[in-house]
Protein backbone atom coordinates (compact mmCIF):
# COMPACT_ATOMS: atom_id res chain seq x y z
CA UNK A 1 0.00 0.00 0.00
CA UNK A 2 1.43 3.38 -0.97
CA UNK A 3 1.74 6.24 1.49
CA UNK A 4 2.40 8.98 -1.04
CA UNK A 5 1.78 12.21 0.88
CA UNK A 6 0.63 13.92 -2.30
CA UNK A 7 -2.25 11.48 -2.34
CA UNK A 8 -3.03 11.38 1.36
CA UNK A 9 -2.88 15.11 2.09
CA UNK A 10 -6.27 16.24 0.88
CA UNK A 11 -9.05 18.00 2.78
CA UNK A 12 -11.87 15.48 3.07
CA UNK A 13 -15.19 15.94 4.83
CA UNK A 14 -17.15 12.89 5.99
CA UNK A 15 -20.74 13.96 6.64
CA UNK A 16 -23.42 11.83 8.26
CA UNK A 17 -27.09 12.85 8.55
CA UNK A 18 -27.68 12.30 12.26
CA UNK A 19 -30.36 9.67 13.00
CA UNK A 20 -31.55 10.30 9.46
CA UNK A 21 -34.82 8.33 9.18
CA UNK A 22 -35.90 9.29 12.71
CA UNK A 23 -35.02 12.96 12.16
CA UNK A 24 -37.04 13.09 8.92
CA UNK A 25 -40.03 11.58 10.73
CA UNK A 26 -39.72 14.06 13.62
CA UNK A 27 -39.41 17.07 11.33
CA UNK A 28 -42.40 15.88 9.33
CA UNK A 29 -44.38 16.11 12.57
CA UNK A 30 -42.93 19.55 13.45
CA UNK A 31 -41.05 17.95 16.33
CA UNK A 32 -37.44 18.31 17.47
CA UNK A 33 -35.47 15.04 17.11
CA UNK A 34 -33.44 16.03 20.19
CA UNK A 35 -36.51 16.19 22.44
CA UNK A 36 -38.82 13.59 20.85
CA UNK A 37 -38.90 9.86 21.78
CA UNK A 38 -39.34 8.35 18.32
CA UNK A 39 -38.30 5.13 16.63
CA UNK A 40 -38.79 4.14 13.01
CA UNK A 41 -40.23 0.64 12.73
CA UNK A 42 -43.15 -1.10 11.04
CA UNK A 43 -45.43 -2.29 13.85
CA UNK A 44 -47.44 -4.34 11.36
CA UNK A 45 -44.50 -6.75 11.19
CA UNK A 46 -44.79 -7.58 14.87
CA UNK A 47 -42.59 -6.95 17.90
CA UNK A 48 -39.68 -8.78 16.30
CA UNK A 49 -39.28 -6.23 13.50
CA UNK A 50 -36.07 -4.19 13.34
CA UNK A 51 -35.93 -0.58 14.52
CA UNK A 52 -34.45 1.16 11.49
CA UNK A 53 -33.62 4.37 13.37
CA UNK A 54 -34.02 5.99 16.77
CA UNK A 55 -34.14 9.71 17.52
CA UNK A 56 -31.10 11.27 19.28
CA UNK A 57 -33.35 11.90 22.31
CA UNK A 58 -34.48 8.31 22.80
CA UNK A 59 -30.93 7.06 22.23
CA UNK A 60 -29.50 9.36 24.90
CA UNK A 61 -32.26 9.20 27.50
CA UNK A 62 -33.33 5.56 27.21
CA UNK A 63 -30.39 3.80 25.56
CA UNK A 64 -32.48 2.66 22.59
CA UNK A 65 -30.27 1.72 19.65
CA UNK A 66 -30.95 1.64 15.93
CA UNK A 67 -31.11 -1.92 14.55
CA UNK A 68 -32.47 -3.33 17.80
CA UNK A 69 -35.78 -5.25 17.80
CA UNK A 70 -39.01 -3.40 18.51
CA UNK A 71 -39.68 -5.51 21.61
CA UNK A 72 -36.44 -4.13 23.10
CA UNK A 73 -37.86 -0.58 23.11
CA UNK A 74 -39.44 0.17 26.53
CA UNK A 75 -43.17 0.65 25.98
CA UNK A 76 -43.59 2.87 29.06
CA UNK A 77 -41.69 5.80 27.52
CA UNK A 78 -43.94 8.84 27.79
CA UNK A 79 -44.99 10.13 24.37
CA UNK A 80 -43.29 7.28 22.51
CA UNK A 81 -43.86 7.47 18.74
CA UNK A 82 -43.41 4.39 16.56
CA UNK A 83 -43.20 5.80 13.03
CA UNK A 84 -43.78 3.58 10.01
CA UNK A 85 -40.87 3.85 7.51
CA UNK A 86 -41.42 6.03 4.43
CA UNK A 87 -38.54 5.07 2.15
CA UNK A 88 -39.61 7.23 -0.77
CA UNK A 89 -39.53 10.31 1.45
CA UNK A 90 -36.06 9.42 2.79
CA UNK A 91 -34.73 9.02 -0.75
CA UNK A 92 -36.19 12.41 -1.71
CA UNK A 93 -34.58 14.14 1.27
CA UNK A 94 -31.26 12.40 0.57
CA UNK A 95 -31.40 13.70 -3.02
CA UNK A 96 -32.05 17.21 -1.67
CA UNK A 97 -28.98 16.93 0.57
CA UNK A 98 -26.82 15.79 -2.35
CA UNK A 99 -28.00 18.82 -4.31
CA UNK A 100 -26.79 21.02 -1.46
CA UNK A 101 -23.39 19.31 -1.53
CA UNK A 102 -23.14 20.08 -5.24
CA UNK A 103 -23.49 23.79 -4.42
CA UNK A 104 -20.14 23.48 -2.63
CA UNK A 105 -18.19 20.90 -4.68
CA UNK A 106 -18.19 19.59 -8.24
CA UNK A 107 -19.75 16.21 -8.90
CA UNK A 108 -16.37 14.46 -9.17
CA UNK A 109 -15.51 15.68 -5.66
CA UNK A 110 -18.60 14.11 -4.07
CA UNK A 111 -18.79 10.44 -3.13
CA UNK A 112 -22.21 9.30 -1.88
CA UNK A 113 -21.36 6.47 0.51
CA UNK A 114 -24.94 5.65 1.55
CA UNK A 115 -28.39 7.23 1.77
CA UNK A 116 -27.28 9.27 4.81
CA UNK A 117 -23.50 9.52 4.50
CA UNK A 118 -21.17 11.19 1.98
CA UNK A 119 -17.56 12.24 1.47
CA UNK A 120 -16.60 15.60 -0.02
CA UNK A 121 -13.13 16.58 -1.24
CA UNK A 122 -12.97 20.34 -0.61
CA UNK A 123 -9.22 20.72 -1.21
CA UNK A 124 -9.61 22.91 -4.30
CA UNK A 125 -12.34 25.19 -2.93
CA UNK A 126 -10.86 26.63 0.27
CA UNK A 127 -8.54 29.20 -1.29
CA UNK A 128 -11.17 30.29 -3.81
CA UNK A 129 -13.69 31.01 -1.04
CA UNK A 130 -11.08 32.25 1.49
CA UNK A 131 -12.06 29.49 3.90
CA UNK A 132 -10.41 27.09 6.30
CA UNK A 133 -11.52 23.45 6.37
CA UNK A 134 -13.59 24.12 9.48
CA UNK A 135 -15.23 27.31 8.19
CA UNK A 136 -16.12 25.66 4.87
CA UNK A 137 -17.54 22.62 6.68
CA UNK A 138 -19.63 24.93 8.88
CA UNK A 139 -21.06 26.65 5.80
CA UNK A 140 -22.21 23.28 4.46
CA UNK A 141 -23.59 22.19 7.84
CA UNK A 142 -25.49 25.47 8.32
CA UNK A 143 -26.94 25.33 4.80
CA UNK A 144 -28.24 21.80 5.37
CA UNK A 145 -29.76 22.88 8.69
CA UNK A 146 -31.43 25.99 7.26
CA UNK A 147 -32.81 24.27 4.14
CA UNK A 148 -33.88 20.91 5.61
CA UNK A 149 -33.84 21.24 9.39
CA UNK A 150 -31.51 18.25 9.64
CA UNK A 151 -28.49 18.10 11.95
CA UNK A 152 -25.35 16.49 10.57
CA UNK A 153 -22.16 15.07 12.02
CA UNK A 154 -18.94 16.01 10.21
CA UNK A 155 -15.39 14.73 10.37
CA UNK A 156 -12.50 16.50 8.64
CA UNK A 157 -9.29 14.71 7.75
CA UNK A 158 -6.37 14.43 5.35
CA UNK A 159 -7.96 11.43 3.62
CA UNK A 160 -11.20 9.46 3.55
CA UNK A 161 -10.25 7.13 6.39
CA UNK A 162 -9.12 9.94 8.68
CA UNK A 163 -12.26 11.97 7.99
CA UNK A 164 -14.49 8.97 8.67
CA UNK A 165 -12.62 8.13 11.87
CA UNK A 166 -12.83 11.74 13.07
CA UNK A 167 -16.56 11.68 12.49
CA UNK A 168 -17.27 8.29 14.09
CA UNK A 169 -14.90 8.53 17.03
CA UNK A 170 -14.98 12.20 18.03
CA UNK A 171 -17.56 14.33 16.17
CA UNK A 172 -20.54 12.16 17.12
CA UNK A 173 -19.79 12.79 20.78
CA UNK A 174 -19.27 16.58 20.61
CA UNK A 175 -21.98 19.17 21.17
CA UNK A 176 -21.32 20.80 17.78
CA UNK A 177 -20.93 17.40 16.01
CA UNK A 178 -17.76 18.59 14.24
CA UNK A 179 -14.18 17.27 14.56
CA UNK A 180 -11.03 17.94 12.55
CA UNK A 181 -8.00 15.64 12.65
CA UNK A 182 -4.51 15.59 11.25
CA UNK A 183 -1.78 13.01 11.78
CA UNK A 184 -0.92 14.35 15.25
CA UNK A 185 -4.43 13.46 16.45
CA UNK A 186 -4.12 9.78 15.57
CA UNK A 187 -2.22 8.59 18.70
CA UNK A 188 -4.52 10.55 21.01
CA UNK A 189 -7.91 9.72 19.50
CA UNK A 190 -7.50 6.58 17.38
CA UNK A 191 -4.96 4.39 19.16
CA UNK A 192 -6.96 3.87 22.38
CA UNK A 193 -9.97 2.53 20.45
CA UNK A 194 -11.22 -0.88 21.65
CA UNK A 195 -12.96 -3.10 20.66
CA UNK A 196 -11.33 -2.97 17.26
CA UNK A 197 -14.67 -3.23 15.42
CA UNK A 198 -15.27 0.42 16.36
CA UNK A 199 -12.70 1.34 13.70
CA UNK A 200 -14.00 1.71 10.15
CA UNK A 201 -12.93 -1.28 8.06
CA UNK A 202 -12.79 -3.81 10.89
CA UNK A 203 -15.82 -6.07 11.31
CA UNK A 204 -16.45 -8.49 14.14
CA UNK A 205 -14.94 -11.47 12.34
CA UNK A 206 -11.72 -9.59 11.57
CA UNK A 207 -11.70 -8.26 15.12
CA UNK A 208 -11.74 -11.82 16.46
CA UNK A 209 -8.84 -12.82 14.21
CA UNK A 210 -6.87 -9.79 15.39
CA UNK A 211 -7.68 -10.60 19.03
CA UNK A 212 -6.44 -14.15 18.48
CA UNK A 213 -3.16 -12.61 17.26
CA UNK A 214 -2.91 -10.46 20.40
CA UNK A 215 -4.24 -7.15 19.05
CA UNK A 216 -6.89 -5.45 21.21
CA UNK A 217 -6.49 -1.72 20.55
CA UNK A 218 -5.73 0.23 17.39
CA UNK A 219 -2.46 1.26 19.05
CA UNK A 220 -1.45 -2.41 19.19
CA UNK A 221 -1.79 -2.54 15.40
CA UNK A 222 0.10 0.75 14.93
CA UNK A 223 3.24 -0.54 16.69
CA UNK A 224 3.18 -3.93 14.96
CA UNK A 225 5.01 -5.17 11.87
CA UNK A 226 3.00 -4.65 8.66
CA UNK A 227 4.71 -7.65 7.05
CA UNK A 228 3.53 -9.85 9.92
CA UNK A 229 -0.04 -8.57 9.54
CA UNK A 230 0.06 -9.15 5.79
CA UNK A 231 1.39 -12.67 6.31
CA UNK A 232 -1.37 -13.52 8.79
CA UNK A 233 -4.30 -11.64 7.26
CA UNK A 234 -3.38 -10.94 3.63
CA UNK A 235 -3.67 -7.52 2.00
CA UNK A 236 -6.28 -6.39 4.55
CA UNK A 237 -3.67 -6.78 7.29
CA UNK A 238 -1.35 -4.30 5.59
CA UNK A 239 -4.27 -1.94 4.95
CA UNK A 240 -5.42 -1.77 8.57
CA UNK A 241 -1.81 -1.20 9.65
CA UNK A 242 -1.62 1.95 7.53
CA UNK A 243 -5.09 3.00 8.65
CA UNK A 244 -3.95 2.72 12.26
CA UNK A 245 -1.35 5.40 11.42
CA UNK A 246 -3.98 7.57 9.73
CA UNK A 247 -2.82 6.83 6.18
CA UNK A 248 -5.19 6.06 3.30
CA UNK A 249 -4.06 6.34 -0.33
CA UNK A 250 -7.57 6.01 -1.78
CA UNK A 251 -8.68 9.04 -3.74
CA UNK A 252 -12.32 10.02 -3.43
CA UNK A 253 -12.41 10.51 -7.19
CA UNK A 254 -11.27 6.94 -7.87
CA UNK A 255 -14.04 4.64 -9.06
CA UNK A 256 -14.28 1.61 -6.80
CA UNK A 257 -15.10 -1.69 -8.46
CA UNK A 258 -15.80 -4.57 -6.13
CA UNK A 259 -14.34 -7.99 -6.92
CA UNK A 260 -17.16 -9.63 -4.99
CA UNK A 261 -20.12 -9.29 -7.35
CA UNK A 262 -23.44 -10.27 -5.82
CA UNK A 263 -27.10 -9.31 -5.69
CA UNK A 264 -29.55 -10.17 -2.97
CA UNK A 265 -33.18 -9.92 -1.92
CA UNK A 266 -34.49 -10.55 1.56
CA UNK A 267 -37.47 -10.01 3.80
CA UNK A 268 -38.71 -10.47 7.34
CA UNK A 269 -42.10 -12.17 7.10
CA UNK A 270 -45.04 -10.35 8.70
CA UNK A 271 -46.23 -13.46 10.54
CA UNK A 272 -45.10 -16.96 11.39
CA UNK A 273 -44.96 -19.13 8.24
CA UNK A 274 -45.23 -22.89 8.28
CA UNK A 275 -43.05 -25.21 6.20
CA UNK A 276 -45.56 -25.69 3.37
CA UNK A 277 -45.86 -21.93 2.74
CA UNK A 278 -42.17 -21.19 2.20
CA UNK A 279 -41.91 -22.47 -1.43
CA UNK A 280 -44.41 -19.80 -2.52
CA UNK A 281 -42.26 -17.07 -0.96
CA UNK A 282 -39.09 -18.51 -2.51
CA UNK A 283 -40.64 -18.44 -5.99
CA UNK A 284 -41.89 -14.87 -5.45
CA UNK A 285 -38.43 -13.71 -4.41
CA UNK A 286 -36.80 -15.60 -7.27
CA UNK A 287 -38.84 -13.44 -9.66
CA UNK A 288 -37.70 -10.30 -7.81
CA UNK A 289 -34.05 -11.36 -7.99
CA UNK A 290 -34.39 -12.41 -11.62
CA UNK A 291 -35.80 -8.97 -12.50
CA UNK A 292 -32.81 -7.32 -10.84
CA UNK A 293 -30.37 -9.55 -12.73
CA UNK A 294 -32.16 -8.80 -15.99
CA UNK A 295 -32.12 -5.03 -15.29
CA UNK A 296 -28.38 -5.20 -14.52
CA UNK A 297 -27.83 -7.27 -17.69
CA UNK A 298 -26.23 -9.96 -15.56
CA UNK A 299 -26.27 -13.70 -14.95
CA UNK A 300 -25.19 -15.76 -11.94
CA UNK A 301 -23.82 -19.26 -11.43
CA UNK A 302 -24.43 -19.70 -7.71
CA UNK A 303 -27.33 -18.86 -5.42
CA UNK A 304 -27.61 -18.98 -1.63
CA UNK A 305 -30.96 -19.49 0.08
CA UNK A 306 -31.16 -18.50 3.75
CA UNK A 307 -34.22 -19.30 5.86
CA UNK A 308 -34.59 -17.96 9.38
CA UNK A 309 -36.75 -19.46 12.12
CA UNK A 310 -38.99 -17.62 14.55
CA UNK A 311 -36.31 -17.94 17.26
CA UNK A 312 -33.80 -16.03 15.02
CA UNK A 313 -31.76 -19.14 14.19
CA UNK A 314 -31.68 -20.54 10.66
CA UNK A 315 -29.61 -22.17 7.94
CA UNK A 316 -28.44 -21.71 4.35
CA UNK A 317 -28.51 -23.80 1.19
CA UNK A 318 -26.41 -23.30 -1.95
CA UNK A 319 -27.38 -24.26 -5.49
CA UNK A 320 -25.12 -24.02 -8.55
CA UNK A 321 -25.88 -23.97 -12.26
CA UNK A 322 -23.69 -25.48 -14.96
CA UNK A 323 -24.09 -22.25 -16.94
CA UNK A 324 -25.00 -18.83 -15.48
CA UNK A 325 -28.67 -17.86 -15.51
CA UNK A 326 -31.15 -15.08 -14.77
CA UNK A 327 -34.23 -17.28 -15.21
CA UNK A 328 -36.80 -16.84 -12.43
CA UNK A 329 -38.30 -20.24 -13.22
CA UNK A 330 -34.97 -22.08 -13.04
CA UNK A 331 -33.74 -20.21 -9.96
CA UNK A 332 -37.02 -20.68 -8.13
CA UNK A 333 -37.29 -24.36 -9.03
CA UNK A 334 -33.78 -25.21 -7.82
CA UNK A 335 -34.07 -23.20 -4.60
CA UNK A 336 -37.41 -24.76 -3.74
CA UNK A 337 -35.91 -28.21 -4.35
CA UNK A 338 -33.03 -27.31 -2.04
CA UNK A 339 -35.45 -26.16 0.67
CA UNK A 340 -37.65 -29.27 0.38
CA UNK A 341 -34.62 -31.59 0.49
CA UNK A 342 -34.39 -31.02 4.24
CA UNK A 343 -37.94 -31.41 5.63
CA UNK A 344 -38.48 -29.41 8.80
CA UNK A 345 -42.23 -29.28 9.29
CA UNK A 346 -42.19 -28.44 13.01
CA UNK A 347 -40.47 -25.03 12.97
CA UNK A 348 -42.04 -21.69 12.10
CA UNK A 349 -40.25 -19.32 9.72
CA UNK A 350 -39.84 -15.51 9.81
CA UNK A 351 -37.04 -14.63 7.38
CA UNK A 352 -36.05 -15.48 3.79
CA UNK A 353 -33.05 -14.23 1.81
CA UNK A 354 -31.63 -15.16 -1.60
CA UNK A 355 -28.17 -14.11 -2.79
CA UNK A 356 -26.86 -14.40 -6.36
CA UNK A 357 -23.08 -14.95 -6.43
CA UNK A 358 -20.40 -14.96 -9.13
CA UNK A 359 -22.29 -12.52 -11.33
CA UNK A 360 -21.15 -12.03 -14.93
CA UNK A 361 -22.42 -9.81 -17.77
CA UNK A 362 -25.13 -11.54 -19.79
CA UNK A 363 -23.12 -11.08 -22.99
CA UNK A 364 -20.73 -13.70 -21.54
CA UNK A 365 -23.45 -16.34 -21.75
CA UNK A 366 -22.64 -19.49 -23.70
CA UNK A 367 -25.12 -22.30 -24.14
CA UNK A 368 -24.44 -25.83 -22.99
CA UNK A 369 -24.75 -29.04 -24.99
CA UNK A 370 -26.82 -30.40 -22.08
CA UNK A 371 -29.51 -27.71 -22.29
CA UNK A 372 -32.95 -28.03 -23.88
CA UNK A 373 -32.22 -25.12 -26.19
CA UNK A 374 -35.73 -24.65 -27.56
CA UNK A 375 -37.32 -24.99 -24.13
CA UNK A 376 -34.89 -22.51 -22.58
CA UNK A 377 -35.49 -20.07 -25.43
CA UNK A 378 -39.26 -20.16 -24.84
CA UNK A 379 -38.84 -19.61 -21.10
CA UNK A 380 -36.38 -16.76 -21.65
CA UNK A 381 -38.62 -15.02 -24.20
CA UNK A 382 -41.61 -15.25 -21.84
CA UNK A 383 -39.62 -13.98 -18.84
CA UNK A 384 -38.14 -11.08 -20.81
CA UNK A 385 -41.67 -10.09 -21.85
CA UNK A 386 -42.86 -10.21 -18.22
CA UNK A 387 -39.88 -8.13 -17.04
CA UNK A 388 -40.58 -5.53 -19.74
CA UNK A 389 -44.23 -5.30 -18.65
CA UNK A 390 -43.25 -4.87 -14.99
CA UNK A 391 -40.66 -2.21 -15.87
CA UNK A 392 -43.09 -0.22 -18.02
CA UNK A 393 -46.42 -0.59 -16.20
CA UNK A 394 -45.49 -1.66 -12.67
CA UNK A 395 -44.69 -4.93 -10.91
CA UNK A 396 -48.32 -5.85 -10.20
CA UNK A 397 -49.17 -5.81 -13.92
CA UNK A 398 -47.42 -9.15 -14.46
CA UNK A 399 -48.16 -11.32 -11.47
CA UNK A 400 -47.48 -15.02 -10.98
CA UNK A 401 -50.62 -16.99 -10.09
CA UNK A 402 -49.14 -17.68 -6.66
CA UNK A 403 -49.30 -13.94 -5.88
CA UNK A 404 -53.04 -14.37 -5.23
CA UNK A 405 -52.50 -16.94 -2.47
CA UNK A 406 -52.49 -16.08 1.24
CA UNK A 407 -48.85 -17.14 1.55
CA UNK A 408 -47.51 -14.80 -1.13
CA UNK A 409 -45.82 -11.49 -0.32
CA UNK A 410 -45.41 -10.53 -3.98
CA UNK A 411 -48.05 -7.78 -4.15
CA UNK A 412 -47.10 -6.33 -0.76
CA UNK A 413 -43.42 -6.06 -1.71
CA UNK A 414 -44.29 -4.62 -5.13
CA UNK A 415 -45.53 -1.49 -3.35
CA UNK A 416 -42.43 -1.10 -1.16
CA UNK A 417 -38.97 0.41 -1.51
CA UNK A 418 -36.12 -1.56 -0.02
CA UNK A 419 -38.61 -3.88 1.67
CA UNK A 420 -40.40 -1.00 3.42
CA UNK A 421 -43.42 1.16 2.75
CA UNK A 422 -42.79 3.90 0.23
Q: What ranges do the domains of the chain cover?
A: 11-180, 188-244, 262-421
Residue 5, pLDDT score: 41
Cβ neighbours of residue 112 closer than 8 Å, sequence gap 6 or more: 98, 118
Residue 42 confidence (pLDDT): 87
3-state secondary structure of 295: helix
Q: In sequence order, which residues have a C-beta less than 8 Å from that of residue 197 and are 6 or more positions away?
A: 203, 204, 206, 207
Q: How far, in Å, CA of 263 to CA of 103, rounded?
A: 33
Q: Is 117 a catalytic residue?
A: yes
pLDDT of residue 70 exceeding 50: yes
The CA R_g of the chain, rounded to the nearest whole Å, is 24
Ranking 23-37, 151-165, 175-189, 324-338 by mean pLDDT, the lowest is: 324-338
Query: Percent of the chain at pLDDT above 70?
Result: 83
CATH of region 11-180, choose from 3.30.70.270, 3.20.20.150, 1.10.10.10, 3.40.640.10: 3.30.70.270
What does the H/E/C string look like for 234-272?
CHHHHHHHHHHCCCCCCCCCCCCCCCCCEEEEEEEEEEE
User: By mean pLDDT, which of 37-46, 101-110, 401-410 is the weakest?
Assistant: 401-410
**In the predicted model, is pLDDT for residue 256 greater than 50?**
no
Determine the pLDDT at residue 205: 85
What is the band of 63 on the pLDDT scale with cuts at 50, 70, 90?
very high
Q: Range with the lowest mean pLDDT among 91-105, 248-262, 319-333?
A: 248-262
* Strand 314-325 relative to strand 298-309, pairing: antiparallel
Separation of alpha carbons 383 and 388, rounded Å:
9
**Confidence at residue 293, expressed as pLDDT on a 0 to 100 scale:** 87
Give yes or no for residue 7 having a pLDDT over 70: no
Query: Which segment, 247-261, 295-309, 391-405, is predicted with the most confidence on average?
Result: 295-309
Q: Which of 25, 107, 117, 231 is catalytic?
A: 117
pLDDT at 321 over 80: yes
CATH superfamily of 188-244: 5' to 3' exonuclease, C-terminal subdomain (1.10.150.20)
| pTM of the shown model | 0.67
Question: Measured between alpha carbons, how far is 269 from 101 in angstroms, rounded to an integer?
Answer: 38
User: What is the CATH code for 262-421?
Assistant: 3.30.1490.100
User: pLDDT by residue (tens digit) across 140-167?
Assistant: 999 999 999 999 999 999 999 999 999 9
What pLDDT shows up at residue 389? 67
254 vs 413, residue with greater confidence: 254
Q: Which of 158, 238, 167 is nearest to 200 (CA)?
A: 167
Give 3's pLDDT tier (boundaries 50, 70, 90). very low
Amino acid sequence: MQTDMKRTDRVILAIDLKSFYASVECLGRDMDPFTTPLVVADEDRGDGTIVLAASPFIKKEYGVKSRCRLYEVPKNIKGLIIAKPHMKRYLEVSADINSIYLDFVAEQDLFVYSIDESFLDVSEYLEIHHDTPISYAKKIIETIKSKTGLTVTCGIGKNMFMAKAAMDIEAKHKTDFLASWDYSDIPLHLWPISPLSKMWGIGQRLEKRLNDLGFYTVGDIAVSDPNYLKEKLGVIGEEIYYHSLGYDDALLQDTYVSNNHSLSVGQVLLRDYCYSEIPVVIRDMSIELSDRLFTCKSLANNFILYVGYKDHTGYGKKVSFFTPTDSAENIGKRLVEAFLSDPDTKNLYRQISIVALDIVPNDNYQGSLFEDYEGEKRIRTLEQTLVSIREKFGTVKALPCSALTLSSTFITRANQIGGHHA
